[in-house]
Amino acid sequence: MSAYETPQLPGIVEEEPPGAPCPPGVSPPFSEGAVPALRGLDWATLSDELDTEGVALTPPLLTAEQCAALRERFDDPTLFRSTVTMARHRFGEGRYRYFAHPLPELVQGLRQQLYPPLARVANVWAERLGEPGFPHSHGELVAACAAAGQQRPTPLLLQYERGGYNCLHQDVYGELTFPLQVAIMLDRPDEDFTGGESVFVEQRPRAQSRPIVKRPRQGQGLIFAVNNRPVRSVRGWSRVMLRHGVSAVHSGRRHVLGVIFHDAR
């Protein structure tokens, strides 16, 4: 998920996977179940955590069965539009694969249900920074992306094996960038893999970098700032930069579903 030399994403550094993608209008050849309603999430608390740290950990968003269904499809080339091998581009060690259109029902459902409450947070941030806001529905955001020349889907699956890691980066795929994204853990830490902590580094103006480490359990989501967020200062609101990565996996395999809301150029 990433560019590492500069705060941009490597959507342009993609390798086409073997096999043909699904034709337009044809559903991917598996059903992982529809995403459950997410109305029970405590968005007031999550919003406070995002304001405080730029990172918030959710309760489980997916069942163990849904996590397994997604994890097991990593090697199905018909589901993906492209694959990136991190070592070839010095992004780290591991692979990630971008889903093709049409997105699996579960992935599309997560995008649509998570977006509205996150858009409220994003619009508060935009107001604090004096920037334009974002539409209230995900369909409107996708349409705005298309108008900006960003039409490639960005949700992805990531896989790390022993020794795998992800360098610090930001997921920026074009001029239109929605400022929040979600990463959902698909494996059981300390059972399916060890190591592989989610690492965040925040750079505030005129201050040293601040590290943040999170260890989500299976099915839990990490919500975090894509590139920057507002932080109150003596002069009002200042923009701080956040980058994210993954520490080395010591054993086993680690899989994550990345839910990015803006599309790629």
- Closest listed residue to residue 3, CA positions, set 212, 258, 225, 173: 173
The residue assigned the tokens 């902590």 is 197
Give percent of the chain above pLDDT 90: 81
Cα atoms in the Cβ-side hemisphere of radius 13 Å centred on 229: 25
The span from the CA of 44 to the CA of 50, in Å, is: 10
- Closest listed residue to residue 76, CA positions, set 23, 22, 33: 22
The span from the CA of 38 to the CA of 84, in Å, is: 31
pLDDT given at position 40: 82
Question: How many CB atoms neighbour CB 231 within 10 A?
Answer: 16
- Closest listed residue to residue 199, CA positions, set 164, 243, 252, 230: 243
Which pLDDT tens digit goes with each residue over 198-247? 999 999 877 889 999 999 999 999 999 999 999 998 888 999 999 999 99
pLDDT tens per residue across all 265 residues of the chain = 433 223 333 333 344 443 334 443 333 434 455 666 577 899 999 999 999 999 999 999 999 999 999 999 999 999 999 999 999 999 999 999 999 999 999 999 999 999 999 999 999 999 999 999 999 999 999 999 999 999 999 999 999 999 999 999 999 999 999 999 999 999 999 999 999 999 999 998 778 899 999 999 999 999 999 999 999 988 889 999 999 999 999 999 999 999 999 999 9
The span from the CA of 94 to the CA of 72, in Å, is: 16
pLDDT given at position 13: 37
For the packed helices 105-129 and 138-147, what is the interaxial angle rounded to 10 degrees?
Answer: 80
Which pLDDT tens digit goes with each residue over 127-153? 999 999 999 999 999 999 999 999 999
The span from the CA of 178 to the CA of 132, in Å, is: 11
Instruction: Report the run of H or E that residue 229 belongs to, with start and end.
Output: strand 228-233
**Domains of the chain (ranges, CATH numbers):** 43-260 (2.60.120.620)
* pTM for the model: 0.88
